[in-house]
Amino acid sequence: MSKASGKRFISLVAKSNPQTESARTVKAPRKLTSLSTTILILCLFPFALAQNEPSDEASLLALVKSYYAAYSQKDLGTLVRLWSQRSPDLTSSIAEALNSLDAEAYTFSNVVVSRVRVAGNKAILQVASNVTITHKKTDTTREEKSTRNFALIKEGSQWKVWRDAPASEDIAVFLEKGSEWKVSRDTIEQFVDVLVAARTEDDRNKQLADNKQMMTPELRGALIRRAATEQAGGRYQTSLTILQIVLTLSERAADREGIAAAHQG
């Protein structure tokens, strides 16, 4: 964030008349003075906004700090709030954290954020830290070094965690448009969950448009299996909705087998 600021002044001074010994100061016309004041305000206004709005990088650093603090304090409520509710990894990651925190206590120090890359409403970064781990049953303590890769997504004005992965996992692809599902577990089933959970048809169509790489026969098969599961459980309306998704995808791809499967139900 820039801390520089400046002031602009406008003064008009008449040059000395070679035929007189004294120079005369010429006052700026009222219109020019008013214009200069307007320019000054317009120049300073964006700067004031920049002062009030934290940069993406500052917001990301704050998110990481809160994330590690919540983990140390075993504050699962805060951890859940820091995750994107749309992340396919939310449930499994919180369950994993709960299991770890039940057995051990974690204290993080020397937390260093690096390799920050931001692309639109997505970001990736790496976090290195020293962690002190205390086993609750034996009361033994060990020191470790931890390095994690994070994928983050901006929802409204807030950054949220999308993926918390080992350092060995390359998540750079996350920055590509419609690539969220390439860095998640069990991608096909997770994408089916998202399509089924979409509140409106427009939301569902947007997911399909943004994730064209997911339009595969495997997705069709997963949707048909899900429709059968919903029907067996008596959730007929959900089953019909899923079959309609299958029909839409199959018609777009001129997939006769998929169209037939959707009609057969």
Residue 125 and residue 64 in contact, taking contact as beta carbons nearer than 8 Å: yes
Q: What are the E-state strand segments in the chain? A: 104-119, 122-135, 141-155, 158-166
What 3-state class would DSSP assign to 53?
coil
Query: What confidence score (pLDDT) does residue 93 get?
Result: 87
Query: What confidence score (pLDDT) does residue 229 get?
Result: 87
What 3-state class would DSSP assign to 135?
strand
- What would the two tokens of residue 148 be? 């994690």
For the chain (265 residues), the mean pLDDT of every run of 10, in chain order, is 38 38 46 45 37 74 96 92 88 86 93 95 96 93 95 95 90 80 64 83 84 80 87 88 89 82 75
Burial grade of 76 (CB within 10 A; 0-12, 13-18, 19 or more) = middle
Integer Cα distance of 11 and 122 in angstroms: 47
What 3-state class would DSSP assign to 137?
coil
Query: What confidence score (pLDDT) does residue 228 get?
Result: 87
Query: What confidence score (pLDDT) does residue 18 get?
Result: 43
Integer Cα distance of 110 and 129 in angstroms: 5
CATH classification of 55-175, choosing from 1.10.3720.10, 3.40.50.150, 3.10.450.50, 3.20.20.10? 3.10.450.50
Within the chain, all domains assigned CATH 3.10.450.50 are found at 55-175
Integer Cα distance of 211 and 181 in angstroms: 8
Nearest to 129 by CA among 149, 151, 144, 150: 144
Residues present in the chain in total: 265
Rounded (5°) CA angle 91-97-100: 140
pTM: 0.55
